[in-house]
Amino acid sequence: METAYESTKKRKQAAQKDIAEPVKKYRIKSLRKREELSGFLFISPWLIGFVALTLGPLLFSLYVSFTNYNITSKMDFVGTQNYHNMFFNDGLFWTSLWNTLYFVAFSVPLTTAGAILLAVLLNQKIPGIKVFRTIYYLPAVLSGVAVYLLWMQLLSPSTGLVNTALSWFGIRGPAWLFDPEWTKPALIVMKMWSVGGGMLLYLASLQGVSKAMYEAADIDGASAFRKFFHITLPMITPVIFFDIVTSLIGGFQIFQEAYVMTENGDGGPVNSLLFYNLHMWNKAFEVFDMGYASAMAWFLFVIVLGLTVINLKFGKHWVHYGGGDEK
């Protein structure tokens, strides 16, 4: 049996413990809190910017996608009507989605392969290689509208440089930007021109591949071909992965090219260059249907998110990170 004294003592101890513990915790917490506070203060410029300028509008547009918002006169909740119209009543939506998928499906693999090929070529040790590197990187420095205008001249059907060059080989070039069958290929060719940016990343990672592996392969008598596919490629997969993820996201955002290179920015012959974002832009700023445009934007987000998740999932199976931590 417990005596009254003992029980009182126990209670006292317990009470003391109760008091003592919080005091200790309070001290730690307050130090952590203060550190946290200054941490938040340090990143507050970014935080405020993100909340006010990105997160706020982002959530606003999500809400807007369920309304008939037109900026100036109305904002009534219409449920999923915008999404319904998108899938069932707007033929141009499907056209624009198809055009965008077509562009992404060809341009992403081609530019990735092109950049790798270029990087491997420019990784050779020959005199003057730095000059070549600079030359191939240059197009990536030039930007935007000026490049598109230049390409409109290059792709001109009868006097453009592209078709002139083709005619030297007896090929009669297509009308590129005027023939709906060739408008998208024309844009993809144009994109190939600026693989220099990706090339730079690959070049850096190629130079990080350990020489020891090539030496070991040489001793085993591996051919250049085998060395490329069994050493070089696996070693640069992290960069390939990064490049594919980012250029896939970028590919879906194609807009300027079509806006600048088609008459009145209306999507080219037979809407062959009406990309998703161009259609969205027209809906938002030509007819002020912000609700619909926001719905389109969120649907594109879902597509890109889905593809990126798939990418990350499958990435595990083919991306090789040197330095262990493999599962």
User: Which residue ranges make up the site for another protein (CB under 8 A)?
Assistant: 34, 37-38, 41-42, 44-45, 48, 70-74, 89, 91-92, 153, 156-160, 175, 177-180, 266, 269-271, 282-283, 285-288
Asked if residue 283 lies in contact with residue 71, where contact means CB atoms within 8 angstroms, the answer is no
CA angle centred on 148, ends 142 and 152, rounded to 5°: 135
The maximal CA–CA distance of the chain, rounded, in angstroms, is 111
Q: How far is the CB of 252 from another protein (least distance, A)?
A: 22
Burial classification of residue 85, based on how many CB atoms lie within 10 Å of its CB (0-12 exposed, 13-18 middle, 19 or more buried)? middle
Taking the least distance from each CB to another protein, the nearer of 160 and 251 is 160
Q: How far is the CB of 36 from another protein (least distance, A)?
A: 12
Taking the least distance from each CB to another protein, the nearer of 121 and 179 is 179
Burial classification of residue 54, based on how many CB atoms lie within 10 Å of its CB (0-12 exposed, 13-18 middle, 19 or more buried)? exposed
Long-range contacts at 77-84 (CB < 8 A, ≥ 24 apart): 78/291, 82/291, 82/292, 82/294, 82/295, 83/295, 83/299
Q: How far is the CB of 296 from another protein (least distance, A)?
A: 14
186-212 burial by CB neighbour count: b if 16+ within 10 A, else e? bbbbbbbbbbbebbbbbbebbeebeee
Taking the least distance from each CB to another protein, the nearer of 157 and 185 is 157
| Cα 316 to Cα 296: distance, rounded to the nearest angstrom | 31
Taking the least distance from each CB to another protein, the nearer of 141 and 145 is 145
Taking the least distance from each CB to another protein, the nearer of 285 and 318 is 285
Helix (H, G, I), strand (E, B) or coil at 77: strand
Taking the least distance from each CB to another protein, the nearer of 15 and 59 is 59
Q: How far is the CB of 147 from another protein (least distance, A)?
A: 16
Taking the least distance from each CB to another protein, the nearer of 142 and 145 is 145
Q: How far is the CB of 45 from another protein (least distance, A)?
A: 4
Q: How far is the CB of 155 from another protein (least distance, A)?
A: 8
Q: How far is the CB of 137 from another protein (least distance, A)?
A: 29
| Cα 60 to Cα 47: distance, rounded to the nearest angstrom | 18
CA angle centred on 38, ends 33 and 39, rounded to 5°: 90
